Amino acid sequence: MLPGYEEALTKYSVGRDLLSALLIHRELLLQELERLSRIPQHVTGIIVDFDYRRSLSITLSLVKISLDLHDLVEQINKQAAVCGMPPVHVANLGVN
């Protein structure tokens, strides 16, 4: 085996697992944000109450996750080059 192969393969595998978990977490946050935007808590006259703080918190979390995804993909692909595994390509990370 090549030097560092096993370590790179382990890091690659762990990175892919983390990527999967991060993408699932991102999807759940997007669903919650969509739910918040569609179901106002209550309507009084023409003013719709919207949970602004929660939506802002979700939005900021999504920004952080996007940055984390970018960094994680770079790390996974570095390990992929060492151990000969296929690189990861993530498309369409924008908020739907």
pLDDT digit of tens for each residue in the chain (96 aa)? 667 889 999 999 999 999 999 999 999 999 999 988 876 655 555 556 678 899 999 999 999 999 999 999 999 999 999 999 999 987 765 544
pTM over 0.85? The answer is no
CA distance 1 to 46: 69
Q: What is the pLDDT of residue 4?
A: 83
CA distance 70 to 15: 12
Give the end-to-end CA distance of the chain in Å, rounded to a whole number.
44
Q: What is the pLDDT of residue 82?
A: 93
CB burial of residue 17 (10 Å; 0-12, 13-18, 19+): exposed
Q: What is the pLDDT of residue 96?
A: 40
**Other residues' Cβ atoms within 10 Å of the Cβ of residue 14:** 13
